[in-house]
């Protein structure tokens, strides 16, 4: 009996039209990644450095694609991790987006970890490089200021021509899971935005299941294959499949202790990326059959090993990033002659002035450079930082001490005032009566001038940047 089945299957294979399955298999490769975290370079942790976009482009797609059409997607956490306003990671993320564009990525899921830059950053970068921002999708991340407006488009549809000549439409959508990040989030005005949770200052998220339902229903009528990108935990990916009938393929960034790279649960498949940092890329090959898709090759992880010939265009891109961002500069501050304190220090005593300064564009000058990708341009840094080129002033965005002097701070106008801050701190503390006269003299000696000469403003507001600058008139707009 068993022999009969085997031979009849063989017969069917031989009789099938276009039986030359080796060369004309109507199959589609799905390449998938997650948790790239802005990595452009190989990690230096092994002697055979693994990862790096120039290696990836050389060893993954041409070697393993076997000439089949493919779709390339990322389940999330592609941005370099950033805390606060970090000029270095903001630039690194730009370059990763450019690298993904060059590697023809079709969709990138926008997740909590990608929400480290504001909408203005993506809007500005999108005007310079529309193709780099185009792939970003999310069905459940909204703008916090407009909680009914998605931050990005909910899905993308791409077309691929398979080897049998048929054209397939592939719909790709993405969600970020609420469950793992409930902690520390408040509901923002539940009446007007039906249950959105604040994700950051700029973004809010809604329930992934409720958000993805209408998207899947729409894609069902428009596409031949739906891929769902998911960020969160593994339970969340499972719930998604159970709650929404027509989801069959989920690619998740979820971490779990289980080393399996994929799970099949009642006909649906959840695929995971095991390693982070762009060191492994997932690949599965699907083939359409009777209106559905099945595995031609099951999901596997491809190691991004060091390539003999790294992709030259991507290698150039990485070199450019390293050069622009000063990757090779010594990060230990050689300038020990500190004379600038930083505005955080002034805030301790001049709280009201600090608050009013915070609201000016002087305080946000560096944010503006980050949004525009100009945070390493010397001519911009000169006018958007404090004490640039002065002893003890701002040197480079990579230096911790310099990061305290980003923006046009108090000392950009009043001059270096560390000695004043220290003298005032000392006299406020407990002093032996004998030390008081000297401390008082110190306070007097170090008092920064209250008057700011016009020449100080004009160092930045020069003919090139502010041709119509008028101190008398303009000071009104930044005064405290
Ligand atoms: C420990 C408290 C303390 C700190 C820290 C401090 N100041 Fe002061 N500052 C004072 C006091 C007290 C005065 C004198 C009284 C006044 O005008 O408020 C003063 C005066 C000044 C004046 C002159 C005001 C005038 O009317 O002449 C300027 C300008 C000034 N501070 C700037 C700064 C800057 C810039 C920083 C941060 C680098 C700073 N201060 C940090 C306490 C402090
Ligand atoms: C754009 C330049 C500029 C910046 C930035 C700036 N100041 Fe001033 N500040 C001035 C000018 C100009 C005056 C003089 C006001 C006057 O005399 O009418 C002044 C006055 C002062 C005074 C004395 C008068 C008062 O309002 O009490 C203090 C103290 C002071 N600034 C502290 C600070 C501190 C602290 C910061 C940062 C949080 C800061 N300034 C940032 C330009 C600046
Ligand atoms: C270290 C450089 C620097 C100094 C010093 C400086 N500015 Fe500015 N100023 C800037 C930058 C950068 C911006 C904002 C970015 C832009 O619009 O180019 C700005 C913006 C302004 C604005 C526009 C504010 C707004 O919200 O529209 C005014 C007004 C202004 N500065 C006045 C002054 C005055 C008055 C002084 C001197 C008392 C001064 N600035 C000193 C760099 C400086």
| CA proximity to 142, closest of 210, 78, 237 | 210
Q: Is 341 in the pocket of ligand 1 (CB under 6 A)?
A: yes
Q: Sorting pLDDT into bands at 50, 70 and 90, what band is 331? A: low
Three-state secondary structure call for residue 358: helix
Cα(469) to centroid(ligand 3), Å? 9
* Separation of first and last alpha carbons in the chain: 92
The protein residue with its alpha carbon nearest to ligand 1, atom 4, reads 421
441 CB contacts (<8 Å, ≥6 apart)?
none
Mutate to test the pocket of ligand 1, among 421, 430, 444 (most ligand atoms within 8 A of CB): 421
Least confident segment among 107-121, 205-219, 244-258? 244-258
Lowest mean pLDDT across 186-195, 289-298, 370-379, 456-465: 186-195
Least confident segment among 122-136, 261-275, 305-319, 340-354: 261-275
Residues 6+ apart with CB under 8 A from 230: 75, 76, 109, 174, 175, 177, 208, 236, 237, 240, 250, 251, 252, 253, 254
Give tens-digit pLDDT for 216-231: 999 999 999 999 999 9
The CATH architecture to which 25-324 belongs is 4-Layer Sandwich (3.60)
Which pLDDT band holds residue 184 (cuts at 50, 70, 90)?
very low
Binding site membership of 414 for ligand 1 (Cβ less than 6 Å):
yes
CA of 349 to the centre of ligand 1 (A): 7
What is this structure's pTM? 0.90
Per-domain residue ranges for the chain? 25-324, 343-416+450-478
pLDDT 10s digits, 241-299: 999 999 999 999 987 777 789 999 888 999 998 877 899 999 999 999 988 999 999 99
What's the CA-to-centroid distance between 269 and ligand 1, angstroms?
A: 64
- Strands 280-289 and 292-303 turn out to be antiparallel
> Hey, whose CA ends up nearest to atom 29 of ligand 3?
474
Task: Pick left, alpha or beta for residue 266 (phi over 0 → left; psi -120 to 50 → alpha; otherwise beta).
Answer: left
């Amino acid at each position: 009996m068993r022999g009969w089945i085997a031979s009849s299957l063989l017969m069917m294979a031989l009789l099938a039209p276009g039986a030359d399955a080796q060369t004309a298999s109507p199959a589609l490769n799905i390449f998938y990644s997650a948790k790239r975290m802005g990595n452009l370079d190989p990690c230096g942790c092994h002697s055979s450095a693994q990862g790096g976009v120039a290696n990836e482009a050389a060893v993954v797609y041409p070697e393993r694609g076997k000439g089949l059409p493919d779709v390339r997607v990322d389940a999330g956490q592609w941005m370099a991790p950033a805390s606060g306003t970090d000029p270095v990671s903001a630039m690194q993320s730009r370059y990763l987006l450019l690298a993904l564009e060059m590697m023809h990525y079709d969709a990138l899921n926008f997740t909590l970890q990608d929400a480290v830059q504001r909408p203005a950053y993506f809007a500005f970068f999108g005007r310079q490089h529309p193709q780099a921002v185009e792939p970003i999708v999310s069905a459940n991340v909204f703008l916090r200021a407009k909680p009914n407006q998605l931050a990005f488009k909910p899905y993308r549809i791409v077309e691929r021509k398979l080897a049998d000549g048929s054209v397939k439409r592939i719909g790709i959508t993405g969600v970020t899971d609420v469950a793992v990040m409930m902690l520390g989030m408040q509901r923002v005005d539940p009446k007007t935005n039906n249950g959105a949770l604040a994700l950051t200052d700029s973004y809010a998220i809604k329930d992934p299941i409720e958000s993805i339902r209408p998207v899947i229903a729409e894609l069902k009528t428009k596409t031949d294959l739906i891929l769902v990108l998911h960020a969160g935990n593994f339970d969340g990916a499972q719930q998604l499949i159970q709650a929404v009938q027509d989801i069959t393929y989920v690619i998740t960034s979820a971490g779990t202790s289980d080393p399996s790279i994929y799970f099949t649960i009642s006909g649906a498949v959840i695929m995971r990326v095991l390693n982070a940092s762009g060191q492994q890329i997932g690949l599965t090959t699907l083939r359409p059959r009777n209106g559905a898709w099945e595995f031609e090759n099951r999901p596997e992880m491809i190691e991004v090993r060091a390539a003999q010939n790294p992709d030259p265009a991507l290698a150039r891109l990485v070199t450019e990033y390293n050069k622009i961002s000063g990757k090779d500069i010594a990060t230990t501050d050689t300038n020990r002659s500190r004379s600038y304190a930083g505005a955080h220090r002034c805030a301790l005593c001049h709280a009201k002035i600090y608050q009013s300064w915070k609201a000016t564009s002087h305080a946000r000058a560096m944010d503006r450079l980050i949004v525009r990708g100009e945070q390493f341009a010397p001519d911009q840094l000169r006018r958007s930082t404090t004490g640039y080129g002065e002893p003890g002033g701002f040197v480079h965005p990579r230096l911790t001490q310099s990061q305290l002097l980003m923006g046009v701070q108090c000392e950009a106008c009043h001059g270096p005032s560390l000695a004043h801050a220290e003298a005032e701190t000392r006299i406020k503390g407990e002093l032996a009566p004998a030390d008081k006269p000297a401390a008082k003299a110190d306070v007097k000696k170090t008092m920064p001038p209250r008057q700011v000469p016009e020449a100080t403003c004009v160092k930045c507001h020069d003919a090139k940047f502010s041709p119509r600058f008028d101190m008398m008139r303009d000071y009104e707009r930044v005064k405290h």
